[in-house]
Each structure stands twice: as C-alpha cells, then as structure tokens.
Amino acid sequence: MRALEWITRGWRSWRNGMDGASLLGVAGLSVGAVMVGMLSVMVGGAAAGKPAMLAVLPLLLLTAFLFIYSREAFLLVVLLVRAGANPVFEETRMAAVGGLGGLLNALIIILAAVIIARDPKRIPKLAWWVWLPFIAMQALGILYSPEKVQAIRLYLGQLSVVALFLVSFYLIVNEADLNKMLRLVTWSSVPVAVVTLIYIALGKTAGIVDGLEDAGARYGGPFPHANILAFYLVLALGVIFYRWKSGQIGQGYARMALVVAYMLLLVGLLYTTKTRSAWISVLFIFAMYGLFRERRYLVYLVLGGMAAMAALPELRERVMGLSEGNQVVQYAKLNSFAWRKLLWADALGWMSPSRYITGYGAESFMFHSPTFFSMAGGRNWGAHSAVVQVFFELGIFGAAAYGWIYLTTLRMLKRLWRSYRLLALISTVLLVGNFLVSLSDNMLSYLIYNWYFWFCMGAVCALAMRQSDSRSESSRRYDAWAVTQPLTRVPTSAVAEVSTRPVWRR
C-alpha cells in the first residue's frame, strides 16, 4: 500500500508540474511510438516476401525528419534521389496502399499545399490555368470511372506533378535560382546512369513492352519501362546541353571533355532503350540548336547518323523495322507503329458518338480494351497515346484541356525570347518534343519522368514570369519618372551620332 501511495503521489506532482503543451507533446510521442511499433510489425511481416521492405521504416523516419526540418530541403533531396532510387520504391509497392511511392506523392501534395497557402499570389494566374482545366476534367472522370480505385491513385500521382510545377514558382526568383534547380536535375541523372550500367552488366532488361514487339534487349535501368528511362535521358541531355552552351559547366578543356564524355554516355544509355521516339527527340534538340545557333551541329548530326547506321546493326534494324509489318493480315507480325494505329482505330471506331463529349471515365481505356481491341488477346492495353486516351476517357473537352497545358506553357516560354534566347530555344524544343511524343505513347503513366519534366518547365516558366514582371515594373517606374521631368531638347549632333552608330553597338 505504501508503494502504491508513493507512485500516486509522484504521478500527481509530475502532472501538476507540466503545462498543456507538454502533455500534448507527450501524448503525441506516445501515439507516434505506438504507430511506429505497429508499422514495424507490419513491415517485418512483409519483409519475409520482400526483403526491400526492411528499408521502409528507416526511410519513412528519415523522410518525416526532413519534412519537419526543412520543406525545401525535403523537396530537393527527393528530386535528387527519387529517379535513381526507383527500384526500392518498386520493390516496396503494395497493392492496397501503394508503398513508399504513394506516401511520397502524398507528401509532395501536402508540401505544395502548405507552401502555396502562405502566399497564393506568388503564383501568377496564368500558371494556375495551365493545369486547372485538365485536373478538373480528370476529377469529373473519376465519378463515372469503371476503375475508381486505380483512377484515384493515378489522379493523386498527377496532382503531385502539378504540385511540383506550382512549387517551382516559389523556388525561382532569378536566373541563379533556376541554375541551381537545373544543376540538381543534372546530378539526379548520375545515380540513374550508375543503376542502368549495373543492370546492363547484369543483363536485366525492361521486360515486355509495346504491343507484340520483342523487348528482350531493351533496358529500362531503374524504371519498369524502357520508355521512361529514354524520355528521362532526353530531358537530362537537354538540361546538360543548355548548361554547357550557357557557360555554366564545361569551362576549360578538361571540364569540357568531361561534360562531352558524360553526354555521350547518356546517349549510349539512350540507345540501349531502343525507344525510337526518344531518339528522334534528341535529334530534334540538336537539329534546332544547329539551325538557330551553330550550323556546324547539322553537319555533326548527318555524319554521326551515317556512322551510327553503319556501325550499329541493331540501330539500323530498329529504324528500318518501321517499313515492315504494316499490313493487318492473319498471322502477320505488326511493327510498333502499325500496332498502335490498329489499337487507336479499334478504340475510336468502338466509341459511341454520344460519348464524344464525356468519354467513358478515367482509366476506362484499359478497362474496355479487351472488348474493342481486335488483338487484345484477353489482356488490358494502354492507349499508347495520351491524346487518344484523354479523348476516349474524358471526351473532347478533356482532350482540349490536355492541349491547353502545352499551349499556355508555350505562351509563358515566349517571354524568354528577348533576354534568354538559348534557354527559350531548348525549353521550347523540349516542350514541343514532349507533346509530339505524347501522341504515340502513354505519357500520363510515366509519373517519375513527368515529375522532372514539369518541374523543369515550371522553373523556366517562373523565370519567364519574374523577368516579365520586373520589366513591366521598370517600365512603369520609368514612365512615372518621365512624366515628372521637364522636356529637354536633344542636340542635333547627338541624334546624328545615334543614327550613324552600327546596330550591334546600340
């Protein structure tokens, strides 16, 4: 009894010495400890089948610490490691909750909501309207989707892409901020390249991909699909090429050799993906640069293309393969593009005209594909075209909203042509190339690539809008100053001097 009395007296004195905030903190720690304990048991049970699950708990704790310590640091660390660490995220994927990837998507959305709530006016109205129509159409499509759970998961992934696009307007104030973000994207390609080289050495390919095509020799690196790696490498090459030509990297012979060697390595990895549309995208970047900036790059492209076609039989077969298998006959093997055209024709022919306005709902293309696709073979197939998919699922207004994303982004990029011509050129080529590729690929499903691509687009657009706003402010200040100044007559000699001065000196 005396021992019980001592315990009761000690509890009362400890409780009376703590305020409400302290009690709340202790309660929070207690709840957190219980949740960590339960999570440890769940992770430990799942680790028997998936050893990678052993990394879940420390990664969760590290993620939570970074998120609490500094939201900006959390975002930058995520962008630095997310692409290269994708195999860990894939191994920890669970059907019910989505694993670490789903958690990270949720944290990105929460992060964006918290930052934007501080000062919503920092985001220009035009930036809001880039994604708002499409996100609204996708939300409506979920209401009548035949696969609501999958549609919601993919919708949350799309929201995380939008979140990164909008958050970039908070991170970018001037050109120096943009260069930091592009440097971050550059370094994020290093673990991707390392993992891809390891997978090539191990002979680990990307598996079965487009249609009836043999994909045994296509490598996807840390990503589950070879096309994701291919388009990520296109973006990385575009960013590195801009940083090199703008003088940020590659100064001096040794450093220039290192930059060129790394770019050639990425081009080699791009070749291993066997993704023809990505090859065309890279050629498009260098061709446009050669056409508008340095014509000698057009010569390099011609000579390099001829040498590659002569020295690489697989490249030659991959390119020439489009000339075969274009007829749909019994037992015939279609090439990749002919297979896509058949898929699109079957889908659009099966659609009821009454559905041209609303579509069949989010994720309905894959759901209905065994019904309308003549070569489905009992499997569910993606649309292999973001435009066809959006039209089938969300109707004509959904397709228009998808096109609106690129149109409004292009409008913002146009503001760069006066002061940042090289940046405007590379960014515009990447944007146009992305849209053209989306005509023949499942771009909406490539979440990690979309993260990096639209973060870069948002960062560049943020600089364009900041630069435009500062010029408008300077013009307003000059106009206000000019009104208050007395009119002065300019000497005739000064006018003559300006008129005879060469244009490049004015």
pLDDT in tens, 366-407: 999 999 998 888 888 999 999 999 999 999 999 999 999 999
Q: Reduced to 3 states, what is the DSSP secondary structure of residue 100?
A: helix
**pTM of this structure:** 0.81
| Burial (CB count <10 Å: 0-12, 13-18, 19+), residue 63 | middle
One-letter amino acid of 493: S
CB distance 164 to 438 below 8 Å = no
Q: For 21, phi and psi rounded to 5 degrees?
A: -65, -40
CB distance 220 to 229 below 8 Å = yes
| pLDDT confidence tier of residue 33, bands split at 50, 70 and 90 | very low
Distances (CA, A) of 181 to 11, 188, 282: 53, 11, 21
Report the first-to-last Cα separation within the chain, whole angstroms: 97
CA distance 333 to 329: 9
pLDDT in tens, 125-163: 899 999 999 999 999 999 999 999 999 999 999 999 999
pLDDT over threshold 60, residue 179: yes
Sorted by sequence, the CB contacts under 8 Å of residue 329 that are 6+ apart come out as none
What does the buried/exposed string (b/e) look like for 137-152 if buried means 16 or more CB atoms within 10 Å of the residue's CB?
A: bbebbbeebebeeebe
| pLDDT confidence tier of residue 54, bands split at 50, 70 and 90 | low
What pLDDT score does 115 carry? 82
